[in-house]
Amino acid sequence: MALLHMSKREKLGSKNTSRLRNEGQIPGVIYGHGEGNLSVAISRQELLTALSHGERLLKADLDGEEKNLLLKDVQYDYLGTEVIHVDMMPVNLSDRVTVTVAVMLRGVPVGVSGESGVLSQAMQHVKVECLVTAIPDELRVNVALLHINESLRVKDLQLPEGMTVLEDPEHVVASVTMVAEEVEAPVAEAAAGEPEVIGAKPAEGEEGEAAEGDKKPEKK
């Protein structure tokens, strides 16, 4: 469990937030702290180190007082590269929590290597319930035995002991399907002669001929 040094933030607002970041700190909020929410400043380097190791459960030194915190949300800048804010909540080590975990496929399905199929992943994440001390970085799913036209569903996931998945058991996580063959559209044959143009002006000389052909014989 990573140890992060934090301090209470008394001054809020965008100007003070920018000052914090320039000082090597990241703003955050601890929700459900006592009677309300608590704004804090966190060591940027310590937080980034914890995130790089996939930490969810944090031990906080909050102005000399130790607390166990669960990382609930991380906000990035518009480029998706810099951490600009984090949300946390206090927990006991015996608590069960609901978290979202990434699903990582492992292995090459026989339906791909030997049957010319294509592997597709329908669920990138699943919601699970587990002890706060047993939150996995990811769920690794072996798909090596999947043949063509076979699927792996939520109910097929091998979960660590004490973990419950909170998704529809019948939802497809990954599947191997046949490669769709491209069908070339038939080339239309060119029609003989020039196409008729509706409303086209008759060529010179044709107008007179048409008029004479349409002229009614005079009565005698």
Could you read off the pLDDT of 34-81 as tens digits, one per residue? 657 888 999 999 999 998 888 889 999 988 889 899 998 999 988 888
pLDDT value at position 190? 47
State how far the alpha carbon of 47 is from the alpha carbons of 19, 25, 67, 80, 107, in Å: 18, 9, 15, 16, 33
Question: 199 or 89: whose pLDDT is higher?
Answer: 89
pLDDT value at position 194? 53
Furthest C-alpha separation in the chain: 125
As a whole number of angstroms, the distance between CA 83 and CA 77 comes to 6
Q: Per-residue pLDDT for 188 more than 60?
A: no
pLDDT tens for residues 127-143?
999 999 999 889 999 99
Locate 207 and state its tokens.
């107008």
Phi then psi for 210, rounded to 5 degrees? -65, -40
Q: Which amino acid is at 60?
A: A
Report yes or no on whether pTM surpasses 0.85.
Answer: no
Q: Per-residue pLDDT for 186 more than 90?
A: no
Contact between 91 and 70 (Cβ < 8 Å): yes
As a whole number of angstroms, the distance between CA 110 and CA 126 comes to 25
Average pLDDT, the chain: 82
Domain residue ranges of the chain, discontinuous segments joined by +: 2-91, 98-178
Q: Per-residue pLDDT for 111 more than 50?
A: yes
CATH no. of 2-91? 2.40.240.10
Question: Would the CA dihedral through 76, 92, 52, 18 be positive or negative?
Answer: positive
pLDDT value at position 88? 93
Locate 219 and state its tokens.
């009565």
- pLDDT tier for residue 21 given thresholds of 50, 70 and 90: confident
CB half-sphere exposure, 132, CA atoms < 13 A: 18
As a whole number of angstroms, the distance between CA 97 and CA 33 comes to 17
Pairing of strands 117-121, 172-178: antiparallel
Same fold yes or no, 2-91 and 98-178 = no
| Bridge partners (DSSP) listed for residue 7 | 41
Pairing of strands 25-33, 36-43: antiparallel
- pLDDT tier for residue 96 given thresholds of 50, 70 and 90: very high
- pLDDT tier for residue 155 given thresholds of 50, 70 and 90: very high
pLDDT value at position 189? 54
Contacts of 27 (CB under 8 A, 6+ apart): 9, 17, 20, 21, 39, 40, 41, 42, 84, 85
For range 150-177, the mean pLDDT: 94
What kind of architecture, by CATH, is found in domain 98-178?
Beta Complex (2.170)
